């Protein structure tokens, strides 16, 4: 859902914005870098592996976010590389999501920071914390994969879409923090951070802009994240449950799995 690179250091941290000293992001800016990234896209590999952290994602989102590449230019390039437009379908669908978020922002600007709908979790918005806890911002939750994702975000200014979804769901549903706090934190770090794509995706996770909350379990992380991410059960105890059990634990006033 979020718009679609990684050192795992654990430097000293401060308050909510996280580490105050980091090396520059490895993502280089500029038109030449953008054109090089665009030239490397492999649409067949993208369609087959884009949901995996080590999949063939394009890393074009920072260049699109800052206007170095336009959606129209990227779409036209993609179509020019294939004989059958169907081969570009998955990729163009992701561009369409970004365009959709932008159109909502332009038509309903208040939806960017306000709940579009009530939470569908059995909890009222008033039951969620307003501020991001320090242990999350500092990558010190004690949930190994979550802490790795936090460090990736701070080190690089980028996260794979699946990692963004995991972090957002953990913050909103496991820690019961309002999505606005997490969305604001992401925008402080993401090089491709865009209020429309970012915030409306957080609302989709939270269930204030979808028909159910999004959750995940440790098996799902292991399936999509590979060996570089610590998915040892004893290091990720709060995630090591079935979907049915997680639904009971996270949403005790509701019934049935969510995800």
Strand partners, 14: 18
Q: What is the mean pLDDT of the chain?
A: 90
Question: What pTM was computed for the model?
Answer: 0.89
Q: Is the pLDDT of residue 186 over 60?
A: yes
Q: Looking at the predicted structure, is the pLDDT value of residue 54 above 90?
A: yes
* Cα–Cα distance measured from residue 86 to residue 150, given in angstroms and rounded to the nearest whole number: 36
What would the two tokens of residue 246 be? 């997680």
Q: What percent of the chain has pLDDT over 90?
A: 86
Lookup: tokens for 257:
């799995």
- CA-CA-CA-CA torsion sign (170, 150, 190, 16): positive
Residue bearing the bigger pLDDT, 4 or 254: 254
Q: Which residues of 101-119 are buried (b: 16+ CB within 10 A; e: fewer)?
A: bbebbeeeeebbeebbeeb
pLDDT digits (tens, 9 = 90+) for 18-33: 444 456 777 888 999 9
Mean pLDDT, residues 183-201: 97
* Range from 43-52, 96-105, 208-217, 248-257 carrying the lowest mean pLDDT: 248-257
CA distance 157 to 169: 19
pLDDT digits (tens, 9 = 90+) for 114-131: 999 999 999 999 999 999
Q: Which residue is associated with the tokens 């790795």?
A: 148
The mean pLDDT value for 219-245 works out to 97
Instruction: Name the nearest CA neighbour of 112 among 96, 124, 101, 127.
Output: 101
Match domain 1-259 to its CATH number in 3.30.2270.10, 3.90.550.10, 1.10.579.10, 3.40.50.300. 1.10.579.10
* Coil, strand or helix at 239: helix
Q: Please check whether residue 145 is in contact with residue 230, taking contact to mean a CB–CB distance below 8 angstroms.
A: yes
3-state secondary structure of 177: strand
pLDDT category of residue 258 using cuts at 50, 70 and 90? low
Query: Any idea what DSSP says for residue 208?
Result: S
Q: Distance between CA 208 and CA 6 in Å, rounded?
A: 31
Helix (H, G, I), strand (E, B) or coil at 53: coil
Q: Cα–Cα–Cα angle for 242, 94, 77, nearest 5°? A: 145
């Amino acid at each position: 859902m979020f718009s679609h690179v990684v050192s795992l250091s654990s430097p000293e941290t401060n308050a909510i914005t996280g580490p105050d000293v980091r090396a520059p992001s490895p993502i280089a800016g500029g038109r030449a870098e953008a054109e090089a990234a665009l030239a490397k896209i492999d649409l067949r590999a993208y369609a087959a592996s884009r949901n995996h952290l080590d999949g063939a994602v394009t890393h074009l989102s920072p260049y699109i976010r800052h206007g170095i590449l336009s959606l129209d230019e990227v779409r036209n390039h993609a179509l020019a590389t294939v004989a059958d437009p169907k081969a570009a379908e998955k990729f163009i669908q992701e561009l369409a999501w970004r365009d959709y978020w932008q159109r909502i922002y332009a038509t309903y600007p208040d939806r960017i920071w306000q709940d579009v709908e009530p939470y569908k979790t059995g909890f009222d918005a008033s039951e969620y914390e307003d501020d991001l806890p320090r242990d999350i911002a500092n990558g010190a939750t004690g949930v190994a994969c979550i802490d790795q994702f936090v460090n990736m975000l701070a080190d690089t200014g980028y996260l794979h879409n699946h990692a963004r979804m995991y972090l957002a769901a953990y913050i909103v549903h496991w820690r019961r923090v309002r999505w606005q706090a997490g969305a604001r934190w992401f925008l402080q770090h993401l090089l491709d951070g865009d209020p429309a794509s970012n915030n409306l995706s957080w609302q989709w996770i939270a269930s204030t802009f979808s028909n159910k909350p999004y959750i995940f379990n440790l098996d799902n992380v292991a399936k999509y994240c590979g060996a570089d991410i610590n998915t040892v059960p004893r290091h990720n105890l709060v995630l090591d449950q079935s979907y049915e059990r997680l639904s009971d634990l996270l949403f005790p006033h509701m019934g049935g799995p969510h995800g």
